[in-house]
A = this chain, B = another copy of it.
């Protein structure tokens, strides 16, 4: 124990853990969970294959941790955004979607991996991740229910709307490329409007929404 720089060793350890997680993320993102090997991860993390196992006891736990982190972060961001939004359902929805879209754009690979590799999780790990995902969707469901109750949303299909809104936001991860036509904020506004329209909310008249003309 280095008594003069407390935490340094642990920090080094943490740093390694982070490097491994980052490498795993890249590997799983590029080749998929089964397509990526622990050797890929080790190479990406700049460590030896066997040392990986000092940090994560199994490949599956690497995925589990990755998804747990991503889903928790997403949930936290949306929760916070909603808590800071106004009373009206439309406002809360706008806040949620802005946070959601921002997360997907900021963490595209995490989002992609969370979307496409959950299926390879098993057991407790799966349940935890699914729970976080459900929590996220629940936020939308509550907003939708409130909006319907208050007469803000008039969709005849409120029960399935939340899921579809989540789908729309998640799907961004599958095609987004940085530097595209729309900025992160633009994308957020766009998706908020898509969502509100889908819910059959009252909308301000369309003006010159970016991406409108060709």
Closest B-chain residue to A159, C-beta based?
B211
**A208 lies within 8 A of B156 (CB):** yes
What number of copies of this chain does the assembly contain? 4
Instruction: Please report A residues at the B interface, Cβ cutoff 8 Å.
Output: 31-35, 116, 119-120, 154-161, 163-164, 167-168, 171, 175, 182, 190, 193-194, 197-200, 203, 205-212, 214
Contacts of A167 in B (CB 8 A): 167-168, 171
Contacts of A34 in B (CB 8 A): 31-35
**B200 lies within 8 A of A156 (CB):** no
**A207 lies within 8 A of B156 (CB):** yes
Contact of A168 among B168, B190, B203, B210 (CB under 8 A): B168
**A203 lies within 8 A of B206 (CB):** no
Which of A31, A194, A210 has the most B CB atoms < 10 Å from its CB? Answer: A194
Distance between Cα atoms of A12 and B143 in the complex (Å): 57
Q: A49: shortest Cβ distance to chain B, in Å?
A: 11
Contacts of A203 in B (CB 8 A): 200
Closest B-chain residue to A167, C-beta based?
B171
Using A167-B167, A168-B167, A175-B163 as known contacts, say yes or no to A193 and B157 having CB atoms under 8 A apart. Answer: yes
Q: A12: shortest Cβ distance to chain B, in Å?
A: 17
Closest B-chain residue to A35, C-beta based?
B34
7 A-B contacts (beta carbon < 8 Å): A32-B32, A32-B120, A156-B207, A156-B211, A157-B194, A163-B175, A197-B200
Contacts of A210 in B (CB 8 A): 157
Distance between Cα atoms of A76 and B205 in the complex (Å): 37
Using A32-B32, A32-B119 as known contacts, say yes or no to A154 and B206 having CB atoms under 8 A apart. Answer: yes
Contact of A164 among B158, B171, B205 (CB under 8 A): B171
Closest B-chain residue to A191, C-beta based?
B164
Contacts of A207 in B (CB 8 A): 156
Contacts of A32 in B (CB 8 A): 32-34, 119-120
